[in-house]
Structure 1
Amino acid sequence: MANSASNTSVQHVRRSAKVVPLPARAPERLVGVGFRCWLAGLSTGDIKCWEDAWNTFSGMLGPDNAKTLLLDLSKFVRAVKASAQRDIEISPAGCRSFCRDECLAISIIAACQHNERQALTASVAALIGTEDIGDTLNGALALAAALRSANQLLCAESVCPATCALRAQRRRLM
């Protein structure tokens, strides 16, 4: 099911689709919540979504770090949205857990930081629904580096194994 980049929409998941509780670790929460808020803002045009991202980042890291990181987050999310050949799912604002696509976004950034190339490429392809991952990969690498510079290192355990990401992609294609 291929959608053009211009009509790729955000789908809110139902309660039963939640798969991972909101992590207590700040780096994972920043990526997951930031991804959710920024994608919702791009899809709805509602400035409150971006304000939620700003409040999360600036509350955890201070306004100077938040500015830098949100710029890189924006580039990553815009690349995901522009490259996606399917609808990207996000949980509603304030949800206390992450859905599969939010977990894939976290996995992508963690894989960048831990140089897990196979898991990285599989997670990006699973998230956007295509093997054409270049722009999304570049955005992810920039965000991962900016997070590292701000001393926000995601856990290696946050990397989704390549086989897991590939199974998620196959389920979507059926």
Structure 2
Amino acid sequence: MNAFNCHSCENNLFNTPERLVLEGYRHWVAGMAIAQRPDLARIESLYSEYLPFKQVQPALSALMGFINALGICSTCPLKTFQVGSGHLCKDEAMVLALIAALQYGDAEAAELSLTSLSCKNRCAEVAVAAGELALILKSANHVLMPISISVMENILAFSRATRHAGDAESHPAPLTLH
């Protein structure tokens, strides 16, 4: 798998706000998985394409803070598909749901996404870091589509069912980066 595939969801399955979060997250994780350092140049290039110049560096800093908080606080290694993939795994869906929930002030959706990504005693730390990114994107008119509680619950239930089915049978897991 080429983690540095530089196509950013070219199939347009994701709107620009979702791409900024998802592809920034993917570039960061891919860089850490392959080179032990995030690919800041690619993230900056992506952000420069869609954000006003004065918001690029604050958005990069906010993304770094958010991902660092996730790395410290996550309940297990978070998964992601490679950069440019049109697929979405549970962890990526919860990252998008969290940023969207914070942009819309949806405390219930934020809580559900936080507890799926982080241990309960560290959720506040992740929420603060994610909130900074959510606010910067919102101030640049990049508001994610809301993800309802019922959709989030379905994603989490499907993920649990798939994981349990995978334990019972030896099907190969989808290709994701950890």
Q: TM-score range by the shorter chain?
A: 0.7 to 0.9
Matches within 5 A, 1:40-55: 40-45=30-35, 49-55=39-45
Contact preservation (8 Å) 1:36, 1:93 = yes
CA deviation string 1:92-148 (max 9, x = no partner) = 1222332221111111000001111111111111123x2221111111111111111
The alpha carbon displacement at 1:90 in A equals 0.6
Q: Which residue of 2 aligns with 1:30?
A: 20
**One-letter code aligned to 1:95:** S
What corresponds to 2:6 in structure 1? none
Corresponding residue for residue 75 of structure 2:
85
Matched residue, 1:131: 120
Q: Is the 8 A contact 1:119 1:159 kept in 2?
A: yes
Aligned to 1:18: none
**Per the alignment, in what secondary structure is the counterpart of residue 97 of structure 1?**
coil
Within 5 Å, give how 1:151-170 maps onto structure 2.
151-156=141-146, 158-159=147-148, 161=150, 163-164=153-154, 167=157
Instruction: Give the distance between the partners of 1:147 and 1:32, measured in 2 at CA.
Output: 13
Contact 1:84/1:127 (CA < 8 Å) preserved in 2?
Answer: yes
Are residues 153 and 44 of structure 1, via their aligned partners in 2, closer, same or farther at CA, if it must alter by over 3 Å? same
Highest Rg: 1 or 2? 2
Given that residues 122 and 166 in structure 1 are in contact (C-alpha distance below 8 angstroms), is that contact kept between their aligned partners in structure 2?
A: no
The answer to whether 1:97 aligns with 2:87 is yes
Question: Which ranges in structure 2 are unaligned for 5 or more consecutive residues?
Answer: 4-10, 165-178
Distance 2:153 2:57 in 1: 35
- Structure with the higher strand share, 1 or 2: 1
> What is the aligned length?
153
Structure 2 match to 1:3: none
Q: 1:94 and 1:112, CA in 2 relative to 1: closer, same or farther beyond 3 A?
A: same
- Structure 1 runs (4+) deviating above 4 angstroms are 168-174
**Deviation at residue 69 of structure 1 after TM alignment:** 0.7
| Aligned with residue 100 of structure 2, among 110, 114, 139 | 110
RMSD, matched Cα: 2.6
Q: Does structure 2 conserve the Cα–Cα contact (< 8 Å) formed by 1:38 and 1:50?
A: yes
Q: CA deviation at 1:168?
A: 6.1
Q: CA deviation at 1:52?
A: 1.9
* Residue 61 of structure 1: how far off its partner (Å): 1.7
- Of the three residues 4, 16, 29, the one matched with 1:39 is 29
**C-alpha displacement of 1:40:** 2.7
> How many percent of aligned residue pairs carry the same amino acid?
24
2:159 & 2:120 partners in 1: Cα distance? 11
Structure-2-length-normalised TM-score: 0.73
